[in-house]
Structure 1
Amino acid sequence: MYQKLLESSTYIKRRIKSTPRIGIMLGTGLNKLLEKMEKEEVIDCSEIPNFPKVTPDKKVKLLFGSIQHVDICVLQGRFPYYEGYGLKEVTYPVYVMKQLGIDSIFFINSCGGINNNLGIGTLFIVTDFVNLGGNSCLIGPNDNRIGPRFVDMSEPYSKEYINKAKQIAHRLRIEPQQGVFGWVPGPYYETAAEIRVFKNLGIDAVGMSVVPETIAANHLGMKVLSICCVTNMATGIQRTKHSNDWVIEVAEKASTNLSEWIRNIILSI
């Protein structure tokens, strides 16, 4: 894998002029941050050696640019586990970002609310996670050039970045919630029985991404911040049937405040 990462990162470095230090992975409907980027360079991930293969109807891109003076790299689109990618493929972009010199990464995504204090449209800071998928991207041989065999998870999300995010939210008059995120493989929305179990485990929100990528980032020694938009309440709490169109609509409405919040966080670190 180490050799593959070198090939991927070498190709990218030859294509770009910037030197990003912050990586961002954007979820469904949360693309307004891209409007704030300057000097944008775009690479289709299908062109990068060793990246996961992309289906013809799917576009995944790496975007390079800056927010004022800060160079960033944004992954637009993902390689979801529920589409049949292995977890090493799901997390491969995180490993490549590290090879590019990125040491901080933000995971921005949509999620379902379980905690009754959450509401649709709430912005949610992830403070910890529960891996409900029963799998890990770290299973298999380990290469110490990439990261340690056993990975500490006492601080999966940077307390420093969480505190900065909360301070900036207060300044912008944004009122986020925070708590524990549960990862499920999907692609079905969880059953009411599952949600009752998750709630008893102390999980506040649930989604189909973020946790594998968080594990990979911690393997690499990166500092992680994850902010979710609650686009629906979970099954058994929400009384209507789930709709992906509704998820996208809610995420797009929240995206304006969220993108300004993320922009300010980027500038602060």
Structure 2
Amino acid sequence: MRQKIDEAAAVIRQRLGFDPEVAIVLGSGLGGLADRIEQPVYLPYGEIPGFKASTAPGHAGRFVAGMLAGKRVICMQGRLHFYEGHTMQEIAFPVRVLKALGVRALVLTNAAGGVNLDFSVGDLMLIEDHINFMGANPLTGPNDESVGPRFCDMSTAYDPALRALLAQVAAEQGVTLRTGVYLGYMGPSYETPAEIRAFRTLGVDAVGMSTVPEAIAAAHCGLPTVAMSLITNMAAGVENKKLDGDEVIETANRRAKVLESLVTGFVARV
């Protein structure tokens, strides 16, 4: 595993010409933040050894790196999902490569369904914890001790200091930032109303089809992580209408500027 990680990191480092400080994973419809990057360098995943191509709607499937808010950043403009047929290990691989590049903070964003009945479409939620309901874990199989421990502690998978900083930046910008528990669901079908009622009983506030594998991989390799959900729709059964992927992208596009400003302000301070 270590050899493959180092090979991919070497290719990226050669193409970039610098070591990034902060990494940002941009979820469905949220790829516009990459347009704020100065002196951008574009690197499609398909040109990196060990990387798989992203096929999800709203995901460009490439790295965009450069300067943002005075920091050297690298953005994943699109991520890999379990429902696309990628293995958990393939989903975790980019996170491990980012760690090898010397990144010292990882920002995960996603589009999610609102489970908490007090939430509204367009809300931003700071993830304080997660429930893995995907039926798989990226750490299964042989473990490479040079990457991380066999048994990985998840108590602070979402770094308390980074969460506090993001909340502070949101308050300074006048952005309402909710906090809650995110449940990772395999997909690609949306959840049933019965499942959403069950998730609410478990204390879930938002549900989506990403983020959890990346957060686990980051905790495993010791990469401090903060994560945020944009509530792009209310989950099944909350409103009397069918769920639609176009609504997710539409809401993400409408609220993207708020999220972009928040992440930019956070990067400036991290």
Give the TM-score, by structure 1 length. 0.97
Q: Deviations over 1:175-214 (max 9, x none)?
A: 1111100000100010011001101100110000000100
1:45 is aligned to: 45
Does residue 130 of structure 2 align to residue 135 of structure 1? no
2:96 is aligned to: 95
- Contact 2:4 / 2:50 at 8 angstroms: preserved in 1? yes
Once residues 87 and 240 of structure 2 are traced to their aligned partners in structure 1, the CA distance between those partners, rounded to angstroms, is 34
Identity %: 36
- Contact 1:115 / 1:205 at 8 angstroms: preserved in 2? yes
- Contact 1:2 / 1:143 at 8 angstroms: preserved in 2? yes
Q: CA deviation at 1:117?
A: 1.2
2:120 is aligned to: 119
Does residue 10 of structure 2 align to residue 10 of structure 1? yes
| CA RMSD in angstroms, aligned pairs only | 1.3
Once residues 69 and 171 of structure 2 are traced to their aligned partners in structure 1, the CA distance between those partners, rounded to angstroms, is 22
Q: Report 1:194-233 matches (<5 A).
A: 194-233=195-234
Q: Which amino acid counterpart does residue 11 of structure 1 have in structure 2?
A: V
Once residues 68 and 137 of structure 1 are traced to their aligned partners in structure 2, the CA distance between those partners, rounded to angstroms, is 32
Q: CA deviation at 1:80?
A: 1.1
Once residues 96 and 174 of structure 1 are traced to their aligned partners in structure 2, the CA distance between those partners, rounded to angstroms, is 32
Once residues 45 and 51 of structure 2 are traced to their aligned partners in structure 1, the CA distance between those partners, rounded to angstroms, is 7
Count how many residue pairs are aligned between Structure 1 and Structure 2: 268
Q: Secondary structure at the match of 1:119?
A: coil
Compare 45-54 and 93-102 and name the one that shifted more.
45-54
Q: Which amino acid counterpart does residue 124 of structure 2 have in structure 1?
A: L
Q: Report 1:166-245 matches (<5 A).
A: 166-245=167-246
Q: Deviations over 1:12-68 (max 9, x none)?
A: 11111221011111011112312221110011110111212566x984101111113
CA distance 1:36–1:54, change in 2 (3 Å): closer
